[in-house]
Chain A
Amino acid sequence: MRYVAVIFSALVAIFPIYWMFSTSIKLPNEWVATPSVWFPSRPVLINYQFIFSQAYEYTIGRRPEEATAFYSFAWSSMKPVFDSLILSTFGTLIALFAGTLSAYVLSRYGQKGAPPPVFPLMYRMFPPVAIIVPVVIMYAILKLTDTYAGIIILYATLTVPLVLWLMKSFFDEIPREIDEAAILDGCSLFGAFYKGVLPLVKSGLAVTGLFIFILDWSDFMGVLLLGGRNVVTIPLKLAEYTSGHGELYGPMAAMGMIAVIPPLILGILIQKYLVRGFTFGAIKG
Chain B
Amino acid sequence: MGLHIENLRKEFGELVAVKDLSLTVETGEFVSLLGPSGCGKSTTLNMIAGLLYPTSGSIFIDDVLVNELPPRDRKIGLVFQNYAVFNHMTVHDNLAFGLKIRKTPKNEIDKRIKEVAEFLRIGDVLDKRAGGLRLDQLQRVAIGRSMIVKPSLFLLDEPLSNLDAALRAVMRVELKKMQKELKQTVVYVTHDQLEAMTMSERIAVMNKGELQQYDTPSVIYNHPKNQFVANFIGSPSMNFIDCSFAEKDGKAFLDAGVFSLDITEFHEIVKAQATSSELILAIRPEDIEIMNQPSTDDTIETSVYMVEPIGVKTIVTMPIGNRLFKALAPGGFRAAIGDRKWIAFQRSKVHIIDKKTGSVAV
Contacts and interface: CB of A to CB of B under 8 A. Distances in A.
A170 to B, nearest CB: 14
Nearest to B46: A180
A278 to B, nearest CB: 18
Interface stretch (B14-22, B79-87, B210-218, B339-347): B79-87
Contact of B87 (A177, A182, A200): A200
B72 interface: yes
B78 A184 contact: yes
Interface string B82-118: 1111111100000001100110000000000000000
Binding site secondary structure of chain A:
helix
A94 B145 CA distance: 36
B340 to A, nearest CB: 52
Contacts of A185: 72, 97-98, 101-102, 145, 149
Contact of A180 (B84, B97, B149): B84
A187 B72 CA distance: 8
Interface string B59-82: 000000000001110001110111
A178 B101 contact: no
Interface residues of B, number: 26
Given A183-B51, A185-B97, A186-B98, A178 B86 contact: yes
A144 to B, nearest CB: 40
B84 A175 contact: yes
Given A177-B82, A180-B80, A186-B72, A200 B88 contact: yes
A195 to B, nearest CB: 8
B79 to A, nearest CB: 9
Nearest to B73: A186
A184 B49 contact: yes
Contacts of B97: 182, 185, 195
B284 to A, nearest CB: 37
B78 A181 contact: yes
Interface in A178-198: 178, 180-187, 191, 195-196
Contact of A175 (B78, B82, B149): B82
B85 to A, nearest CB: 8
Contacts of B146: 184
A202 B77 CA distance: 28
Nearest to A178: B84
A280 to B, nearest CB: 13
Contacts of A180: 49, 51, 78, 80, 84
A184 B86 contact: no
Q: For chain A, which range describes its interface: under 10, 10 to 19, 20 to 34, or 35 or more residues?
A: 10 to 19
A110 interface: no
A202 B87 CA distance: 12
Nearest to A180: B51
A108 to B, nearest CB: 12
A181 B84 contact: yes
B101 A184 contact: no
A1 to B, nearest CB: 38
A196 B86 contact: yes
Nearest to A191: B101
A43 interface: no
Contacts of A182: 86, 97
Nearest to B97: A185
A116 interface: no
Nearest to A179: B84
B80 A181 contact: yes
A237 B239 CA distance: 83
Interface in A155-191: 175, 177-178, 180-187, 191
B157 to A, nearest CB: 9
A141 to B, nearest CB: 46
A279 B113 CA distance: 35
Contact of A183 (B71, B81, B88, B145): B71
B38 to A, nearest CB: 15
Contacts of B78: 180-181, 184
A181 B49 CA distance: 10
Given A180-B80, A185-B72, A186-B72, A199 B88 contact: yes
Given A177-B82, A180-B80, A181-B78, A187 B88 contact: no
Contacts of A181: 78, 80, 84-86, 145
Nearest to B99: A185
Given A180-B78, A184-B71, A185-B98, 20 more contacts: A175-B80, A178-B84, A180-B49, A180-B51, A180-B84, A181-B80, A181-B84, A181-B85, A181-B145, A183-B72, A184-B49, A184-B76, A185-B101, A185-B145, A185-B149, A186-B101, A195-B97, A199-B86, A200-B86, A202-B88
Closest 9 CB pairs of A and B: A177-B84, A185-B98, A186-B72, A186-B101, A181-B84, A177-B80, A199-B88, A184-B71, A178-B84
Interface of B: 49-51, 70-72, 76-78, 80-89, 97-98, 101-102, 145-146, 149
28 contacts: A177-B80, A177-B84, A178-B86, A180-B49, A180-B51, A180-B78, A180-B80, A180-B84, A181-B84, A181-B86, A183-B51, A183-B70, A183-B72, A184-B51, A184-B77, A184-B78, A184-B98, A185-B98, A185-B102, A185-B149, A186-B72, A186-B98, A186-B102, A187-B101, A199-B88, A199-B89, A200-B88, A202-B88
